[in-house]
Chain A
Amino acid sequence: MQFWIIQILNSLAFGGILFLLASGFSLIFGLQRIANLTHGSFFMLGSYIGASLLREHTPGVDLWLAALMAGLLVALLGGLLERLVLRRLPGNPLGQVLVTLGVAFIISDACLVIWGGDPIPVPTPRAVARPVIVGHFAFPTYRLVVVGIAIAVAISLHLLLERTRLGAMIRAGVDDMQIARAVGIRVSVLFTCVFCLGAGIAGAAGVLGGPIFSAYPGLDADMLPLALIVVILGGVGSLAGAFIGSFIIGAIYTFGSTLFPDVAYFILFLPMIVVIAYRPEGLFGRSRA
């Protein structure tokens, strides 16, 4: 029983981290039609920045502050990438993908130069390091907190998109960019905002995932395909799809690697095949004619 509780919590926490990663990817793709292959690198960069901040033992910096700072830094980097590079390739989705891939290579190699090849652990904050004991069972607190944060971010993003003026403008841009421009929405500013937002969430997610994965070279290549699978599964551009997809993939990955460690990676592929075969646009995706 204790085994199952731990596994379920692990899979939920993993799903939560995946959601933070995939939601940004999905938002960017939905609005800008850019498959941002640097998204895994943003995550890894966030992890490393968080690990460094916490390692320096700077007074007053705890994991939450580190996540915030890493998120802001990575958001800034994302904004630069969007403004300086992607902006030069309008209407060239293939070129944009290749550029983001090129930047992903540069970032991953730069991380290797700066932080070296050994994994850097990120300590679990002391306040939530002890498990919560209910009856005879122990629940790892940090995992619970991560799930809580993911749900909070999901609700905030939902409210942002559905209830605010900015969200309405983003939705207008997704639905019909030319008309949105015609009624006076500055779509180009919107693009930068969404790109920064997506990158920032990924960077912060990297720090929050730190105590679970720690920061290591290759983290980007491990996370990016998971985010892709989540987005393909849930439907591109759909927040609900990213949410459901993340927890499905989180569960499959966690249980798969405990029960069938050799082929866990392969099992991940199965739900994707089923969904693509029956609903190519994803579970919550809208078909684009």
Chain B
Amino acid sequence: MTRLLMTLAVAALIALPAYAGEFYINLASQILIAAVVAMSLNLLVGYGGLTSLGHAAFVGFSAYVYAWLTTKLGIGNGVASVSALAATTALACAFGLVALRATGLSFLMITLAFSQILWGLAYRWVSVTNGDNGLSGITRLAPFGTSLDSAAGFYWATLGVSFIAFLAIAAFANSPFGATLRGVRDEPRRMAALGHNVHLIRWITFVYSGFWAAVAGLLYVNYNKYIHPSALSIANSAEALLGVIAGGSGTLGGPIAGAALITILKNYASAYIERWNMLLGFVFLAIVLIVPEGIVPGLQRLVARRGDRKK
């Protein structure tokens, strides 16, 4: 039953450009990109118990590397993509070593400070980043000579990449390693006493999460063909985190639902009001105060309660 539903859902997603207009195709691409960001962050927040408020740093860094290499150095798009992934993963390796000295709120503050510094650097290191003007004139990747300039073409490519990301992240979370990661989240001392290297387990997760954030960053910069320091801003990190928590952290589907909700809300809200940040703030308050466990587990709980009543 679940498998049938999954197949139907995937088929509906693949066929989307056949029945939806360009606006909706682009919206769907944005949702997919936000979903990859949220899924990668969920590895840390949901499975690792490490709440990061600096995830946009990896997304933005990867996007900036790609943009800088292609526009300022004239390097080919393919090589630039691989370099962006490698550079961001290396950044995650180095940064994980520092940030994971702490856990809990200190970890959150360190990741926040780190991402704010990259954000400040993007604004002020004008010779590399063009500062507040951002980098424009970026061209999309053309894998195997196929142009992705049409909305549908880019959507399919993004769908493929997101699907791979979903499978890879699901495989990671459901593997024996994922089980030890959850163990470390719940009982770090016992896991250490059992001989697990708690620090190493967290670090590997951090790097893996950073890698998928870099993939999302490539999608992001290819979609927008433009990058601005705001991509690294705390608002973006917070949106990603809100997506994870709204949907339900520590579940595979939750972050996707959360990211979709936030992206749709943002698109529709900004058509009517200018005050997206204020709305985001209120959504934050509402989610934390009303459905703190997230929408997907919240619904599961409600459904389970109804099931109990029927018996």
Residue A11 CB within 8 A of the other chain: no
Q: Which residue of B lies closest to A269 (CB)?
A: B117
Per-position binary interface string of chain A over residues 203-238, scored 1 when its CB falls under 8 Å from any chain B CB and 0 otherwise: 000000000000000000100110011011000100
A98-B288 in contact (CB<8A): yes
A266-B102 in contact (CB<8A): no
Q: Which of B117, B234, B280, B283 contacts A268 (CB 8 A)?
A: B117
Per-position binary interface string of chain B over residues 202-221, scored 1 when its CB falls under 8 Å from any chain A CB and 0 otherwise: 00000000000000000000
Q: Which residue of B lies closest to A229 (CB)?
A: B113
Q: Report the minimal beta-carbon distance from B228 to chain A, rounded to whole angstroms.
A: 14
Q: Which of B108, B241, B275, B292 contacts A109 (CB 8 A)?
A: B275
A93-B105 in contact (CB<8A): yes
Residues of A within 8 A of B245 (CB): 98
| Alpha-carbon distance A108/B280, docked complex (angstroms) | 12
Q: Report the minimal beta-carbon distance from B127 to chain A, rounded to whole angstroms.
A: 7
Residue A156 CB within 8 A of the other chain: no
A-B contact count (CB 8 A): 115
Q: Which residue of A lies closest to B286 (CB)?
A: A102
Q: Which residue of A lies closest to B51 (CB)?
A: A94
Residues of A within 8 A of B106 (CB): 232, 236, 280
Residues of B within 8 A of A106 (CB): 277-278, 281-282
A102-B113 in contact (CB<8A): no
Q: Which of B51, B127, B233, B288 contacts A102 (CB 8 A)?
A: B288
B114-A269 in contact (CB<8A): yes
Residues of B within 8 A of A33 (CB): 105
B interface SS class = helix
Residue B139 CB within 8 A of the other chain: no
B108-A35 in contact (CB<8A): yes
Q: Report the minimal beta-carbon distance from B106 to chain A, rounded to whole angstroms.
A: 7
Residues of B within 8 A of A110 (CB): 278
Residues of A within 8 A of B120 (CB): 225, 265-266
Residues of B within 8 A of A98 (CB): 241-242, 245, 284, 287-288
A103-B275 in contact (CB<8A): no
A262-B124 in contact (CB<8A): yes
Q: Mark out the residues of chain B between 210 and 259 whose CB falls within 8 Å of any chain A CB in the assembled complex.
A: 233-235, 238, 241-242, 245
B109-A105 in contact (CB<8A): no
Asked whether A99 and B289 contact (CB < 8 A) given A276-B101, A276-B102, the answer is yes
A262-B281 in contact (CB<8A): no
Residue B125 CB within 8 A of the other chain: yes
Per-position binary interface string of chain B over residues 165-203, scored 1 when its CB falls under 8 Å from any chain A CB and 0 otherwise: 000000000000000000000000000000000000000
Residues of B within 8 A of A261 (CB): 124
| Alpha-carbon distance A33/B113, docked complex (angstroms) | 18
Please name 10 pairs of A and B residues whose Cβ atoms are closer than 8 Å in the assembled complex, sorted by A: A29-B105, A97-B53, A99-B289, A101-B53, A101-B238, A103-B285, A221-B116, A236-B106, A265-B124, A280-B102
